[in-house]
Structure 1
Amino acid sequence: MNLSEQHRDRTDLPNADWQFHLSRLRPIIDLLENKDRTLGEWYLQGESEQEALQYRAYDDKDPSSAAVDALSKEYSRKNKDDPKSIGIWNGFKSDRVGASITVEVDGGEVFPKSLDISLSEGGENRDSRLGDYKSVADVIAQVVEIYGSFYITFGPYYYFKEKVFEDRPGVSWMLYLPHALSAAQLPEARALIPLMRDGQQQGTIIVSVTDEVFDVNNRAHVKVANDIEIRLADQDLLPRFVDL
């Protein structure tokens, strides 16, 4: 399963502030660990397995000085305002429990930034490592709270081949949009979860399947997600990437 999102950072953030970006990510990691204990320990990605286990991303709950120093060294030849990324993994190569997180940072105001969480799902029981759709929605809500996302998609990686519009996000298992949406607008959705802030609805998580985990090989699941995408596009609610 993959979570993908885009957002814009505040213009007053200092560039190459690795301490800030790793600290901002920490509440999401804590929530992931609550869902799956194999998602609690993280390391900086590297060119080899040995190198990728060399630097812990965190010492207890705080960004490790070794990780901050390694990122500073990696980007020392770059201009401070050049695009950069932080890549971490949970230390497991297994198809069942491997995971990685990539956060894009810096790069000015021209392009949005992104967060991607990739979770291997190699088990045969068709369960999600993060639980049912309500449990996954907890993670999406946390990401929205921290990053103020333009959109978030969650579902199987290969759904990108099945979505209707190449230039827009796909619904997959779940799609967050920063709009208050109703069942009348999206009758195909199996659930609509409102996200609130300060007493106001800031967005909606659209769920395509509620009684089981979304399966990209299940044509009924794909059809529901596709139908939601078409309905959203018809109402000018599914953004084009170029407009973000």
Structure 2
Amino acid sequence: MYLSSQHRDSVNLPKADFEFHLRRLRPVIDLLSAKDAKLGGDWFLGGSSIADAQRFPVFSGGAVRKDAIDELRRKNADDIDEAKFIGIWNGDSRKGCGGSIEFCIDSTVFPNSIELTVNEIAANTSRLGDYKSAADVIIKVAEIYTPSNLTFGPRKYLGKQVFEDRPSVSWMLYLPHVLTSSQVPEARALIPVVRDGKQQGTIIVSVTDEVFDVNNRAHVKAANDIEIRLADQDLLPRFIDL
């Protein structure tokens, strides 16, 4: 499964504050670990080979390791004021065991982003559980980052979405709007995301009775229909407008 989220950070946030961004990400990793134990344990900075990508554990207990921060500073020494792309992974390359997170920080021209990849054993499986369980991860990301959009589902669905210039619905799509069933009658479920006692957005679910399968035409059609419905109401933004 694949999660893709976009957000804007405060312009007052210091550049190259790697500790802040990794510490902010930690609650998401803790939740992933609760969903699948193989996503727990050590997470490492990415590298050019498996050996290289196991050199720098990112966390020690609840803290970000100093040597990981120092390595990121070394790698990004020439790009302090530019957008930076950071990759971490759970150190397990076995089939159906791996997980990785890539995120962009310090971007001013385009949104910052988070991309989570959870390697599955088969196309119709989800290590994060059913739609309600997987939605917990979406809610956590939405609470922390207040994204402009977030898509969750099989990565291969990206080749089957209706609009290339807009976010896809896939299995689930988060938008920062309060949505009702009358606005999106094709949705199988609408999950409100609440922050500080107020609804900040909605998760739109295309399939609820089983795991979204990109090889299932009915599943793809359900997601496509929702995308068309949202676009017709100007609720599915273009990436260029975000």
TM band (smaller chain): over 0.9
**Following TM superposition, by how much is the alpha carbon of 1:127 offset from its aligned partner in structure 2, in angstroms?**
3.0
Aligned to 1:49, what secondary structure does the other structure show?
Answer: coil
Q: Which residue of structure 1 lines up, in the alignment, with residue 139 of structure 2?
A: 141
Aligned to 2:234, what secondary structure does the other structure show?
Answer: coil
TM-score (norm 2): 0.97
Q: In structure 2, what residue type is equivalent to 1:100?
A: S
**Following TM superposition, by how much is the alpha carbon of 1:66 offset from its aligned partner in structure 2, in angstroms?**
1.3
Aligned to 1:215, what secondary structure does the other structure show?
Answer: coil
Instruction: Find out whether 1:65 has 2:66 as its counterpart.
Output: yes
**Following TM superposition, by how much is the alpha carbon of 1:75 offset from its aligned partner in structure 2, in angstroms?**
0.8
Q: Over aligned residues, Cα RMSD in angstroms?
A: 1.0
* Inter-partner Cα distance in structure 1 for 2:208 and 2:145: 26
Q: How does 1:161-180 map to 2 (within 5 A)?
A: 161-180=159-178
Number of residue pairs matched? 241
Aligned to 1:216, what secondary structure does the other structure show?
Answer: coil
* Inter-partner Cα distance in structure 1 for 2:207 and 2:125: 13
Q: Which residue of structure 2 lines up, in the alignment, with residue 118 of structure 1?
A: 117
* Inter-partner Cα distance in structure 1 for 2:53 and 2:166: 33
Unaligned runs of 5+ in 1: none
* Inter-partner Cα distance in structure 1 for 2:43 and 2:196: 33
Q: Which residue of structure 2 lines up, in the alignment, with residue 208 of structure 1?
A: 206
After the TM superposition, list the runs of 4 or more consecutive aligned residues in structure 1 that deviate by more than 6 angstroms.
none
Q: In structure 1, what residue type is equivalent to 2:114?
A: L
- In the alignment, which of 146, 154, 163 is matched to residue 156 of structure 1? 154
* Inter-partner Cα distance in structure 1 for 2:18 and 2:201: 29
Unaligned runs of 5+ in 2: none
Instruction: Find out whether 1:75 has 2:76 as its counterpart.
Output: yes
Q: Which residue of structure 2 lines up, in the alignment, with residue 241 of structure 1?
A: 239
**Following TM superposition, by how much is the alpha carbon of 1:62 offset from its aligned partner in structure 2, in angstroms?**
1.0
Q: In structure 2, what residue type is equivalent to 1:118?
A: T
Q: How does 1:79-94 map to 2 (within 5 A)?
A: 80-94=80-94
**Following TM superposition, by how much is the alpha carbon of 1:98 offset from its aligned partner in structure 2, in angstroms?**
1.0
Aligned to 1:96, what secondary structure does the other structure show?
Answer: coil
Aligned to 1:206, what secondary structure does the other structure show?
Answer: strand
Instruction: Find out whether 1:128 has 2:129 as its counterpart.
Output: no
TM-score (norm 1): 0.96
Deviations along 1:83-128, one digit per CA (max 9) or x if unpaired, are 1122001111123111110110013x2211000000111247x431
Deviations along 1:117-140, one digit per CA (max 9) or x if unpaired, are 00111247x431001101111100
* Inter-partner Cα distance in structure 2 for 1:205 and 1:130: 16
* Inter-partner Cα distance in structure 2 for 1:32 and 1:238: 28
Q: Which residue of structure 2 lines up, in the alignment, with residue 199 of structure 1?
A: 197
Q: Which residue of structure 2 lines up, in the alignment, with residue 28 of structure 1?
A: 28
Deviations along 1:172-206, one digit per CA (max 9) or x if unpaired, are 00000011110011111000001112332111000
Deviations along 1:182-232, one digit per CA (max 9) or x if unpaired, are 001111100000111233211100000001000000000000000000000
